[in-house]
């Protein structure tokens, strides 16, 4: 989306840059990281609170993963995760909506 706003004599171009979904652990509601999608892109990146960005969703040897889990950087026991299809739907909704720049998702405790 591209919008031009007029402010006095100056026009300002505004572009929707996409959106980010904040990820939280369900135990203590610690911030784990973000999933970010640029506007008009199918590329999603996982930006952990600690560490380097990674492509998302992860792929296994068969080409897809149904459940995604990560560790809480604040040391909560277990892994926290969720179903890839639901998380992907939320990221796409936020990334494709020019009225939203951010969403949230709480990852649930796994068994690891």
Note the pLDDT tens digit of each residue in 36-71: 988 777 889 999 998 899 999 888 777 778 999 999
Cβ atoms 99, 30 nearer than 8 A: no
pLDDT for 111: 61
Task: Say which residue, 8 or 21, is predicted with more confidence.
Answer: 21
Confidence check: pLDDT of 100 > 90? no
Taking the complete model, does pTM exceed 0.85, yes or no? no
**108 is written with which tokens?**
């649930």
Confidence check: pLDDT of 23 > 70? yes
pLDDT for 96: 82
pLDDT for 12: 43
DSSP output for 75-112: --SSEEEEEHHHHHHHHHHHHH-TT-SEEEEEEEE---
What value does the mean pLDDT of the chain take?
Answer: 83
Give residue-wise pLDDT tens across range 2-15: 443 444 454 444 44
Domain segments of the chain as ranges: 17-109
């Amino acid at each position: 989306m591209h919008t031009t706003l007029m402010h006095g004599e100056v026009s300002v171009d505004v572009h929707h840059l996409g959106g980010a979904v904040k990820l939280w652990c369900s135990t203590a509601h610690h911030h784990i990281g973000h999933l970010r999608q640029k506007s008009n892109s199918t590329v999603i990146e996982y930006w952990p609170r600690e560490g380097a960005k990674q492509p998302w969703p992860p792929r296994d040897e068969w080409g897809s993963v149904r459940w995604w889990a990560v560790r809480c950087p604040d040391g909560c026991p277990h892994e926290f995760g969720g179903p890839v299809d639901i998380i992907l739907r939320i990221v796409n909704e936020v990334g494709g909506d020019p009225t939203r720049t951010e969403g949230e998702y709480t990852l649930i405790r796994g068994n690891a």
